[in-house]
Amino acid sequence: MRIAKNDTVEVIAGNDRGKRGKVLKVFPETNRVLVEGVNFVHRHTRPRRQGDQGGIIEKEAPLNASNVLLVCTKCNGGVRVRTKVLTDKSKARVCTKCGEMIERR
């Protein structure tokens, strides 16, 4: 999976198409990402104790990783990413449009 926590991504499919947000959590085993401010669902909660109040809570739900693209700072848009092996045997993510290296934050 080429998307990591704290990356800025753009949604390319679904009701939130075009929105951008920061990745809060990555679920590599299910190929999903949780993006801040995107894909809200309603969670109906019941009161747990006497005197508590139940209600409807809006919270973010995970998206499939194929529905988001990493945002390149130079291109200022969602781009596909390649991995490039550097001289010191480490890997770096590279924008396919402009060739700019994308930093992990």
Q: What is the pLDDT of residues 2-55, one digit of tens each?
A: 899 999 999 999 999 999 999 999 999 999 999 999 999 999 999 988 888 899
Structural domains of the chain in order of their starting residue, each with its CATH number: 8-102 (2.30.30.30)
**3-class DSSP state of 17:** coil
Q: pLDDT category, 100, cuts 50, 70, 90?
A: confident
Q: pLDDT category, 102, cuts 50, 70, 90?
A: confident
pTM, two decimal places? 0.83
Span of 38-42, 56-60, 63-67, 83-87 with lowest mean pLDDT: 83-87
Distance, in Å, from the CA atom of 33 to the CA atom of 53, rounded to the nearest integer, reads 31
Distance, in Å, from the CA atom of 30 to the CA atom of 16, rounded to the nearest integer, reads 20
Q: Which two tokens stand for residue 56?
A: 């409807």
